[in-house]
């Protein structure tokens, strides 16, 4: 099905099931331990051996030799496969660094061996007996220093410019020119990367933890140099991803090699330190922002330049993207620079680009608003735009940033924001802050297969994943709405490469895209039923478990007959981006307290207002947003991968050293969704919220800390040493 015009009569608009606050249908499986995650998968006929990875102890160079004799003789060891044994492999499409194989070391903790043993402890103990000799090369590990040799990235559009920025900036009566930095960040999802691999002849079955089934399957086939059709990949339950599981990782490759060598199914979970130094992270940024404004608060000139680094062949953190679209202003420019770093691979983490971009931009907006002397909520409203400011002929499909700011200000009690440093309660300085939220809305082709059987049960199959987001539930809601049945009559099966290829979970495109694919498949199924019965397609109605047309009606089970009927389709999108810009919007309001003696910042309350099209399920959507807001607190106050710039690795490689917020850090959160639909996003008229909820949060906190203390911190995280 091709979608490029606004849907008119659409069963989804009945809103009998869609839009309802239905608790997640997989919740019971998860809370009772019956949902099997990758590492837990078991079958009484299969006894898994355990694989333990060895990571490179240098950041750049070559492996001269590996002595595995002691490891092989260690108790319980079944096999040892080294990078030298595996040989140089073809690299998958989505990774920057090699995952395994060959003598080249591209970053610290790149996988160089897997030890397979009867138990986990035996495999781990044997792994340290491997002796490796390296030829070490000098690497580049310091972003600031590497910026001297940074180049324009080869991305689609590294720069943009409209009007005369330099001229307008010079002429502006009020200006701001500041530099902001964001650190390397780690996804730190609960469930580590983990896979079980089992060979049957030349066919491979892999239970893993993947956001994108088809990407993983293709890249695993490339890496193992085998036919993609011979790989069966499953990832039905996932303990978080945040972008860290978008791309094939070493656990799946090592499990496949280990299982082949040990002639047994093998399970490999990456140890927590590997999540930091073996997998991907969000790259650090250095951002310069210049803004010129009139005394009436109108922005006349705005420039955003961002530098970041990555391994050779990698890409930039696209931190300027939101600045191309968020505020009006006739004269503007953005630019990105990419430095070569030999640190572990930088790649997508929740709201790549916008999340760190807004950490800088939304402080800058607070600063220029203050210099102009206009309330920061009002300043943002004054500079709203309903069209793409770089291409004014392109309106937004729907944009209600002003609505979010106004409603948020009212609900939060914004009027009370005093002068910086003017509110005190005991030893606490109190402050409030605001920031806009912005994240583009992407859509991805998505397929599904829907079957209605002779019992009247609707079964949905798609390789869509549920990374804790609620995909199972909104997909069941979609099928129930389309087929006119209650949700308990729908059975949803996800995360299996035997099912139609879906959008997968990423870029906050999953909910809208995957449910649209289910919509399309249901349309096909409705057509098949209508045709079988000879009903009139103009007046056919699927409702209350029945199909009706004119004065005829029939229970669905009877309509499809004992063998049932199937509908399958893939939702595709036309090229809407030429005529319209699709984005999601929001406003974050935060109140903080800062201890005058220790400089410790504490969140007191947070409010997010989101405008993101139709909300398919307010429970699961809210859960996405409060999780994202919590992640924003980490970004603002604690999260930072510390780089050892001599040896080239991230030092704080576990959850003791890399601090993410806990419940006690978040006393009060509220989320409001604007009651809206996006007529152009899809037949669901929905967009995404999973990344929007993070965008802007850290800046709102930084602005609140400034309001509390009068101290402006432009370098994240805002730890107490920076305030004292
Ligand atoms: Mo998201 S960083 O595309 O999972």
pLDDT in tens, 117-174: 999 999 999 999 999 999 999 999 999 999 999 999 987 789 999 999 999 999 999 9
Task: Return the structure tokens found at 83.
Answer: 């990078």
The predicted structure's pLDDT at residue 104: 98
Residue bearing the CA closest to ligand 1, atom 4: 243
Question: Is the beta carbon of 353 within 6 A of some atom in ligand 1?
Answer: no
Pocket probe mutation, ligand 1, options 188, 282, 350, 511, max atoms within 8 Å of Cβ: 350
Ligand 1 contact, 688 CB (< 6 A): no
Q: DSSP secondary-structure letter at 702?
A: H
Q: Is 348 in the pocket of ligand 1 (CB under 6 A)?
A: yes
CB-based contact 376:369 (threshold 8 Å): yes
* Nearest atom, ligand 1, residue 245 CA: 4
Round to whole Å and give the CA distance between 636 and 433.
13
Q: Cβ(350) to ligand 1 under 6 A?
A: yes
In angstroms, what is the span from residue 503 Cα to ligand 1's centroid? 12
**Going by CATH, does the domain composed of 2-35+443-575 fall within 3.20.20.10?**
no
Question: In 108-156, where do the E strands start and end?
Answer: 111-117, 131-136
Instruction: Say how many Å lie between the CA of residue 314 and the centre of ligand 1.
Output: 16
Ligand 1 atom at shortest distance from the alpha carbon of 690: 1
Give pLDDT tens digits for 60-102.
999 999 999 999 999 999 999 999 999 999 999 999 999 999 9
Which residues on neighbouring strands pair with residue 552, listed in sequence order? 549
Does 352 contact ligand 1 (Cβ within 6 A)?
yes
630 C-alpha to center of ligand 1: Å?
17
507 Cβ below 6 A of ligand 1: yes
Ligand 1 pocket test, pick from 506, 512, 690 with the greatest ligand atom count within 8 Å of Cβ, gives: 506
Give residue 217 CA to ligand 1 midpoint distance, Å.
18
Closest ligand 1 atom to residue 351 Cα is 2
Q: How does 8-27 read in b/e, with b if 16+ C-beta sit within 10 Å?
A: eeebbbeebbbbeebebbbe
Statement: residue 7 has pLDDT above 60 = no
pLDDT tens digits along 220-251? 999 999 999 999 999 999 999 999 999 999 99
Atom of ligand 1 nearest to the CA of 243: 4
Q: 427-441 burial by CB neighbour count: b if 16+ within 10 A, else e?
A: ebbbbbbbbbbbbbb
**CA pair distance 331, 291, nearest whole angstrom:** 10
Residue 4 has pLDDT above 80, yes or no: no
How is the beta sheet containing 601-611 ordered, strand by strand? 424-425, 428-440, 583-595, 601-611, 669-673
User: Does 6 have pLDDT greater than 60?
Assistant: no
Instruction: Reply yes or no on whether the pLDDT at 308 is more than 60.
Output: yes
pLDDT at residue 576 in the model = 83
How large is the average pLDDT for residues 266-285? Answer: 98
Cα 683 from Cα 679, distance rounded (Å): 8
pLDDT at 5: 54
Confidence of residue 602 (pLDDT cuts 50, 70, 90): very high
Cα of 320 from ligand 1 centre, angstroms: 17
Percentage of the chain lying above the pLDDT 90 cut: 95
Does the active-site annotation cover 104? Answer: no
As its CATH architecture, domain 353-441+582-723 has 2-Layer Sandwich (3.30)
264 lines ligand 1 (CB under 6 A): no
- Fold agreement between 2-35+443-575 and 353-441+582-723: yes
Nearest to 673 by CA among 14, 23, 19: 19
Kindly state the percentage of the chain with pLDDT values over 70: 99
Q: Give the mutation target among 216, 246, 695 for probing the ligand 1 site: most ligand atoms within 8 A of CB.
A: 246
Does residue 241 have its Cβ closer than 6 Å to ligand 1? yes
For residue range 545-581, what is the model confidence (pLDDT) as tens digits? 999 999 999 999 999 999 999 999 999 998 888 899 9
53 lines ligand 1 (CB under 6 A): no
Q: Whole-number mean pLDDT of the chain?
A: 96
**Residue 324, pLDDT score:** 98
List of E strands, 25-86: 49-55, 61-67, 77-82
Tell me the CA–centroid distance for residue 34 and ligand 1, in Å.
Answer: 27
Minimum-distance ligand 1 atom for the alpha carbon of 691? 1
Hey, which bits of 294-365 come out as E strands? 299-310, 331-340
> What distance in Å separates the CA atoms of residue 521 and residue 460, rounded to the nearest whole number?
9
Partner residues linked to 490 by β-bridges: 458
Q: How many CA atoms lie within 13 A of 1 on its CB side?
A: 26
Q: Domain boundaries in the chain?
A: 2-35+443-575, 353-441+582-723
């Amino acid at each position: 099905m091709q979608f490029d015009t606004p849907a008119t009569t659409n069963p989804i608009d009945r809103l009998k099931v869609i839009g309802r606050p239905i608790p997640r249908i997989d919740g019971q499986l998860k809370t009772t331990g019956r949902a099997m995650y990758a590492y837990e998968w078991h079958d009484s006929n299969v006894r898994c051996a355990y694989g333990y990875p060895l990571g490179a102890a240098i950041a750049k160079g070559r492996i001269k030799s590996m002595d595995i004799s002691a490891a092989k003789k260690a108790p319980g060891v079944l096999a040892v496969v080294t990078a030298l044994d595996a040989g140089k492999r073809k690299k998958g499409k989505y990774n920057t660094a090699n995952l395994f194989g060959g003598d080249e070391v591209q970053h610290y903790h790149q996988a160089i061996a897997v030890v397979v043993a009867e138990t986990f402890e035996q495999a781990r103990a044997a792994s340290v007996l491997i002796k490796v000799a390296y030829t070490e090369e000098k690497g580049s590990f310091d972003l600031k220093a590497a910026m001297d040799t940074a180049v324009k990235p080869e991305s689609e559009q590294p720069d943009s410019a409209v009007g005369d920025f330099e001229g307008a900036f010079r002429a502006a009566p009020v200006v701001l020119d500041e530099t902001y930095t964001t650190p390397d960040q780690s996804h730190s999802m609960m469930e580590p990367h983990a896979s079980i691999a089992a060979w049957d002849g030349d066919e491979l079955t892999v239970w893993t933890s993947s956001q994108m089934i088809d990407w993983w399957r293709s890249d695993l086939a490339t890496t193992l140099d085998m036919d993609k059709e011979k790989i069966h990949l499953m990832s039905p339950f996932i303990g978080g991803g945040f972008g860290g599981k978008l791309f094939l990782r070493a656990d799946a490759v090592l499990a496949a090699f280990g299982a082949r060598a040990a002639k047994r199914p093998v399970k490999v979970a990456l140890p927590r330190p590997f999540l930091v130094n073996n997998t991907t992270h969000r790259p650090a940024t250095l951002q310069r922002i210049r803004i010129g404004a009139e005394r009436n608060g109108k922005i006349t000139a705005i420039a955003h330049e961002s530098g970041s680094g990555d391994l050779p062949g990698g890409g930039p953190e696209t931190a300027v993207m939101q600045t191309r679209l968020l505020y009006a202003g006739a004269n503007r420019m953005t630019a990105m620079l990419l430095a070569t770093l030999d640190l572990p691979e930088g790649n997508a983490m929740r709201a790549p680009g916008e999340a760190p971009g807004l950490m800088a931009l939304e402080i800058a907006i607070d600063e220029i608003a203050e210099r102009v002397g206009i309330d920061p909520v009002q300043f943002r409203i004054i500079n709203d735009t309903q069209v793409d400011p770089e291409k004014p002929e392109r309106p937004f499909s729907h944009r209600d940033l002003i609505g979010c700011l106004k409603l948020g200000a009212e609900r939060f009690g914004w009027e009370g924001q005093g002068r910086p440093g003017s509110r005190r309660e005991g030893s606490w300085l109190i402050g409030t802050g605001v920031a806009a939220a912005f994240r583009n809305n992407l859509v991805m082709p998505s397929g599904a297969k829907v079957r209605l059987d002779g019992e009247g049960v609707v079964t949905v199959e798609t390789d869509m994943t549920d990374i804790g987001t609620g995909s199972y539930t909104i997909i069941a809601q979609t099928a129930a709405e389309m087929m006119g049945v209650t949700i308990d009559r729908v059975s949803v099966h996800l995360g299996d490469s035997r099912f139609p290829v879906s959008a997968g979970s990423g870029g906050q495109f999953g909910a809208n895209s995957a449910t649209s694919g289910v919509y399309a498949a249901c349309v096909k199924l409705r057509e098949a039923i209508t045709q079988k019965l000879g009903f009139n397609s103009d007046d056919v109605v699927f409702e209350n478990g029945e199909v009706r047309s004119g004065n005829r009606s029939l229970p669905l089970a009877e309509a499809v007959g004992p063998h049932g009927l199937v509908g399958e389709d893939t939702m595709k999108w036309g090229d809407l981006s030429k005529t319209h810009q699709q984005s999601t919007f929001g406003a974050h309001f935060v109140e903080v307290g800062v201890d005058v003696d220790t400089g410790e910042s504490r969140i007191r309350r947070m409010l997010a207002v989101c405008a993101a099209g139709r909300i398919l399920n307010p429970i699961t959507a809210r859960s996405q947003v409060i999780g994202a807001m919590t992640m924003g607190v980490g970004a603002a106050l604690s999260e930072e991968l510390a780089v050892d710039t001599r040896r080239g690795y991230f030092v704080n490689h576990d959850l003791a050293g890399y601090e993410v917020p806990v419940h006690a850090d978040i006393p009060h959160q509220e989320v409001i969704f604007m009651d809206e639909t996006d007529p152009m996003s899809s037949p669901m008229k929905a967009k995404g919220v999973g990344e929007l909820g993070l965008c802007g949060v850290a800046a709102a906190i930084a602005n609140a800390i400034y309001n509390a203390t009068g101290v402006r911190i432009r370098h994240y995280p805002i730890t107490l040493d920076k305030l004292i």
